[in-house]
Structure formats: structure tokens, C-alpha cells
Chains A and B, each alone.
Chain A
Amino acid sequence: MKKELIKPKEWMKRIPASVSEKMGLLVIMVVIIVFFSITTKGLFFNLTKMTNIINILQASVLTGTVAVGVTFVIITGGIDLSVAGNCVLCAVTSALLMERGIPWQVAMLISIGVGTFVGLLNGIAVTKLHMVPFVTTLAMQNIAEGVAKTITNSRTITGLPKEMTIFGQGKLFGTMIPISVVILLAVFLVGMLLLNRTNYGRKIYAVGGNTYAAWLAGINTNAVILLAYIITGFTSAIGANIVVSRLQSASLSIASDLSMDVVAACVVGGTSLMGGRGTITGTLMGALIISMINNGLNLMGVQASVQLIAKGVIIFVVIAYDSLRKRDR
């Protein structure tokens, strides 16, 4: 006989799935906070001295910004593994232009254009050439990273204008809140509105749920998917420029582990890799969780190699949970 699955209690059924999923994430966050607070003797989460909390928030800016875009792509049923390469390319483009004396505002705008263009290329490959997103974007990762290495000769670009550090190092009107975190919140809000309140957002879910049925309902599925990749390119460029602004320099190593962290943030946040399901709020919480794990393990003095294992295991477990739940239905 098949083993009976544990039935959810009656009261649990009345809570909408979207809310109960967020509750789960909140519980995970609390568990992580308690765990690291104990293991780091309070360093991890000190409400009187906000330093580490702000560190965590700041460290989640790049992952979070990029993950907002990637959430769009994953909900369509695709994936974008080129974001790390794209970020590096955007960062060095920006920095090289500033080095040449081009006004930093212009340099950043051009860099954002480049990132968006890389997204466009991904989108065209997937929609017009019917290439598989996984391999397409993996190839694009190599191309973007290669171009970045070539144009910089693999050097770190430093000595960038002080004025442009406002996005990365600035604080909001004398408070402790970093401007970069505000930008992340802005990207998050726009992403959330786009996905929840607009017809484009609805089409994203329709395409991810059943591309063919969406096409038969008259939705221009190719345009919807194309735009999702463009959005990802755009948010990648935003994230990259914030990092350049924070470091006042650009190097090839700014986005190591980024692709993995971003996909992990989305998946931990409840976005299904099968497409059709996921939220921006979940992704943001996912990004915070990843950032907390990275930070906590650092504070504990865990070796980088062990950190890698820990993160891998966490992602593995979450994805296993996701696919098991799928099978039960």
C-alpha cells in the first residue's frame, strides 16, 4: 500500500497558498537569524548596532536586483545563466568609459544600454531561433565574460570619479539607510507592479503556465518572452553599476557566484523552474536569505569552500522540495 501523505490541517487550507508560502520564508528567515545569532554570539543580528544588518542588506543588492529580472524569465519557463557575465561586462564598460573621461552619468547609461542589449540577444536567440534557454544563456555568459576580459586585458579599473559613488556608498539623508538598498527596493516595487498589476505580467504567467495554450488564446508569446530577457539584461546592468559605484572600481571578479545565487534566490523564494509560478516578493526574500547565509557563515569564520557546500546543499533541498510538491499534485 502507498503511504498516506500528511494532510494539511483544516485551518491551513483557509490561508491562500501565496501567503502560506511567504510565511514559510519568514519562518526560514527567523530560524536563520536565531541560528547565526547564537553561533556568532549576537554579532549577526544586533538591533542596537545596525552595522551587520545593513551589511546583509547591502550585500543582497546585486543578487536582489538581478534576481528580480531573472524571476520574469523563470516564470516564462526559461532561465538566464548569463547574468554574471553580463554584470561583469556592464561594470567594466562603465568603468572604462569613465576612465576615458566620459561623464559618469553618460558612462552608466551606455553601460545599461549594453546590458539591455545582451538581454535582447538572449531573447532573440530563444524566441526567433528557438534555441534552448539553458545552453543559449550559458554561451552568452562565456561571450560576455570573454569580451569583458578582452577589453580590460583582465586588469582592475580603479580611480573612478568620486561623485558617482553616491549610488553605492551614499546614505539616505543622514540616516543609516544606504541608497543602494533604496534602489533595490525601487526595482523590487516596479517589478512587483509590473508582474502583478499589468497585462504584461499576466501574460508572463500565462506563457509560463502553458505557452501553447497562451499562443492559442492570442497572446504574442514570443514578444512576452523576449521582453522578459530584456528586463533581465536591464536589471543586471543596474546591479552592476551599483557595485561599480560602491567599489569605485571594476574588476572581473565582482560577480563570482552571482548566477548561482540569483537562481537560488528565485527558487528559494518559491519561483518554479517549470514556469508559471513565482513572485517578486518571494524572490526578494530569497535574495535576503542567500545574503544572510553568506554573511553568517563568514562571521562564523567558515572556510569559503565549506560555504560553497552549505549553499549548494540548501539549494538542493529547496529544489527537491519543489519537485516533490509538484509530483504530489
Chain B
Amino acid sequence: MEKEPKISMRNISKRFGSASPALDHVSVDIYSGEIHSFAGVNGAGKSTLMKILQGVYQPTEGTILIDGKETVIRDPREANSKGIAMVYQELNLFVERSVAENVLMDEFPSKHGFLQWKKGYAECRRFLEGLGICLDVRAKVKTLSLAQKQLVEIAKCVKRSPQVLVFDEPSSSLSQEEEKILYRILRELRRKDMAILFITHKMDEILDMADRITVLRDGRLISSGPASEYDMDRITGQMLGKSISFEKNEQVKQFSEEDVVLEAKNIMLPKILDGISFRLHRGEVLAITGLVGSGKSELARMLYGIYGNRYQGEIYVNGKRISPSAPGKAIKCGLAYLPINRKEEGILHNFSVKKNISAAILNELGFILDRKKETAVAGHCRDVYGIKTGSLDDMIGSLSGGNQQKVILARWLAKEQSILILDEPTRGIDVGAKQEIYSNLKKMAGEGMSFLMISSEIEEILSAADRIIVIRNGRIITEGYPKDFDHDTLLQYIMAGTTTQSA
């Protein structure tokens, strides 16, 4: 490697608040003319690293060198001017305007201040054809499919001819045919000596495409090197860090017909869920896993009434048919929900710990709030879940992520809900707090609570769950007990990649 790195990130750390660092002294070199793939499970720090490179975040520590010169990237505009562009997962397109306008943007040809439509359309058509993309350049972007929009977004970024192009899960919404187009574009750009950074969850994609691979875990750099040094086992092993002492749950809990507390029959949600059926038993932790977009989170949200009446199928709680059309109704049926985005959907940031815990039992506390009872209940819930807080009156924001998560759990304990739907309960939480949450789940399950745990973390599923369901494209692919799987087999079921592709 006599080549000089295009970009060199040195000892980058990033902390958000008091929680464990999102990035912990990560150093990576990025070379021109290479496809560089970043692997890691959710929360490993890939996206944070890319956002630092893009100027969205400022690193807490560390330096970035571009062409060997130390550089500060203050915002995305500055990143752009330094030749770094990013294709975002969430699309940044003007949906009311045409494909050509979106691709060419301010480079749209004009004369005396008037746009030259014909010339612009022709120019855009030529450009897209050069990339092998077949699209009507006059069509409004809002009429395109999600995958087509993704291609427009990619074309828009490529048009700026950046030297470094970052892709954040570019293929998650593409069909196989469109994936091929994307891969061809990537190879073409590599040939033009561009540096391409590539975040993906698909193993085969990494192994097929990458020249260089970097693996991150829990915000730390695990390894970085030429792709030839890696195979599937090495990458997954490093991503998951089998060395951490997660004990696999080898027990098989036996349940009878009477133990069923929640039953779903043939649940359909247009374009997302395609006939999901399952049973959750009293005292059971049932894990539902799958890729992003498999429908696992949507299943949780649907059961909690967030999608209203848009679903089809039957849901039973303790043998009684229910139709959760809003969270309030789902709560009355005994369901509770721990959202995936704690900050946006879980905590009430303007409230103290106590008030966050009591948020679901306000009606029970009476019109004139029984503040003694409130304090007593909150204190009890704090003790049960071991919430670490100076005082119940401390603001929720002063707590660590793990403790905030426990506060939301406590909210439902206060409400005495018996069925908890947890959507990625330990996302963005440090390892210690994770273990505490698992032991809490085990304890509460022992007392008769039931948990439906949506998760994409393998160790979490194998150690905390009693039973596992894997879904893909809105359908159940397989189900079984933790003892039936190991890391690799479960990962393969989830990844949809090289294993049997059912029609």
C-alpha cells in the first residue's frame, strides 16, 4: 500500500451526553478507487462515523485529514465543497419536481436566467443512460417507486462528481434488478478513481463488492483491511463479538393452551405484513427478528394500535378478540409498548423521572392528582427496575439511556400491564445496562408478565428470549427455541442472503 489515503480519520471519538461513547478512538484510512465497506450491527457507530465525515456531527476528539491535510468539516455544505457527498437512506428529493430538475439541480442549463427545458431534459437523459438508469426524466419524482427515487438520489450525488461518495444502506429498498444497476454504477465510479464508502447489512453484498472492509462494534474499531483477508465467518464474528459473555438460553419453557395471552391470526398490513400468526404465552419472552424493512417493527406498532384499523386479521388477548385502533385502546386490553426511538416516542423530556413513570396512570391518580400515591408508585417501580437516579424529581434527561429505558418499562409496571411489546429495547444502550434490562425481563416474566421483543441483536435474542420467530418480507421464515439456533444459522435466516430463497 504505497498509495496515500484520500481521507484519514484519526482517533475519532464522539460522545452524546453522559452515555457510553458512540465512537471510541476510531481510526480509518480511506483510499481513492476503492469500495470500502463498513460492517457492524445497529448501534455499532457506522452511521455516526459517516455523519462526522459529512459534517453533521462534530467529533468530540480526533482529527480528519484530507489528502494529508488536517481539515475541519463544519457542516454538510462544507463536506460537499471538499468533494464528500452522501446518498442518504431517507431521501432528500423535491417530490413535486421532475427527475431532471432533481438530478441537475442548480446545474440545470439556463440562458439569460430562463431555464432551457429541452436542453436540460436531454442532458439529464444522456447522463442517466451513461449510468445505465432507465427513467423518464420529465416524470415528477412523486410518481416514482421508492427504488426509482433511490436511483434518482444516487444520480444526483454522482452528478456533482464528488471524490468521496458515502452510501448508507443503498440497497435496502431496491429490487434485485435495481441492485444490479447500483452495483454496476458503483464499479463504474470506482474505475473513475472515486472513493466509495458503503454501509450495508447484507453480508453477500459486502463480500461481493468491497475492496476494503472495516468492522465496528460498540463504537470501537475491531478491524480494517483488504477484503481478501475476510470471509463471512470473520466478519460476523467480529461484528457480533462472540467473546462477550452472553449466555445462550438453553431452557425450553413448556406452555399449554391456557397460557396463551396474546394470539395473532393471519395478520396482514398492505405491502408490509403478509399473513403473520403467532402465540405469546404467560411468562414468555418471544423474540421477533428480521432485517430492517422485514415488517418486525411494523408488527409491533400495529398490535399497539398505531396503524389504526388498516390491518386485517384477528388478534386475541386472553381469548377475547380485540381490535386495537389506537394506543389508548390497546392499553385498555392490557398491552403496552416500548418504542424503538426512546427520545422521540418514549420519554417526555420536560418531565421528571417520577412524572414520566406516572404518565400512563394519570386517570388512576384521580382528577385531583394523588401525589402521595404517585410518589409511592414511582418509588416502588424505581426499586423494582433498579433505576439509578439521584431523586425521583430529577429531570429524565439527566439519566443515562439505559436508565431512561427502564423508566419507560417502569411506566408500564405502574400501569400493571401484563403484555409488553418491546421494540429494540436495548438500542443505543451500553453493555452493562443491557444485562440489567435482560435480567429485569427475566424477573418480570417469572412473575407472569409476557414480552414480545422485537430485536435485531443476535446475542440478545439467543440469551434473553424463550422462543424466536424470524420474519422476512412480512412473512414468518422460521421459528424455534434458542437451542435450535447458533449465531451463524440465526444470522443466515435473518440476512436472506445465501440461504434458500423461498419464492
Contacts and interface: CB of A to CB of B under 8 A. Distances in A.
A interface, by DSSP: helix, strand, loop or mixed?
Answer: helix
B346 interface: yes
A80 B293 CA distance: 41
B350 A214 contact: no
A199 B351 contact: no
B interface, by DSSP: helix, strand, loop or mixed?
Answer: loop
Interface stretch (B124-132, B193-201, B256-264, B366-374): B366-374
Contacts of A218: 327-328, 331, 360, 415
Contacts of A213: 339, 344-348
Contacts of B415: 218
B411 interface: yes
A171 B346 CA distance: 51
B362 A277 contact: no
Give the interface size bracket for B toward A: 20 to 34
Nearest to A209: B350
Contact of A214 (B304, B306, B326, B359): B359
Nearest to B396: A209
Given A202-B355, A212-B345, A217 B367 contact: no
B367 A198 contact: yes
B254 interface: no
Interface in B396-438: 411, 415
B441 to A, nearest CB: 20
Interface string B102-135: 0000000000000000000000000000000000
Given A202-B355, A217-B411, A219-B359, A212 B344 contact: yes
Chain B CB within 10 Å — which of A202, A203, A276 has the most? A202
A208 interface: yes
A205 interface: yes
Nearest to B374: A202
B327 A209 contact: no
Give the interface size bracket for A toward B: 20 to 34
A219 B331 CA distance: 10
A219 B369 contact: no
A266 B345 CA distance: 28
B305 to A, nearest CB: 10
B308 to A, nearest CB: 12
A215 B346 CA distance: 10
Contacts of B367: 198-200
A199 B362 contact: yes
Contacts of B345: 210, 212-213, 216
Nearest to B358: A202
A206 B359 contact: yes
Interface of A: 197-200, 202-203, 205-206, 208-210, 212-220, 276-277
Given A202-B358, A216-B327, A218-B360, 14 more contacts: A200-B367, A206-B351, A209-B351, A210-B348, A210-B349, A212-B344, A213-B346, A215-B326, A217-B360, A218-B331, A219-B359, A219-B362, A276-B349, A276-B350
Question: What 9 A-B pairs are tightest by C-beta distance, nearest first?
Answer: A209-B350, A199-B362, A276-B350, A218-B331, A217-B359, A209-B348, A217-B360, A218-B328, A218-B360
30 contacts: A197-B369, A198-B368, A199-B362, A199-B363, A199-B365, A199-B367, A199-B369, A202-B359, A202-B369, A205-B351, A206-B359, A209-B348, A209-B350, A209-B351, A210-B347, A210-B348, A210-B349, A213-B339, A215-B328, A216-B306, A216-B339, A216-B345, A217-B327, A217-B359, A217-B360, A218-B327, A219-B328, A219-B359, A276-B349, A277-B350
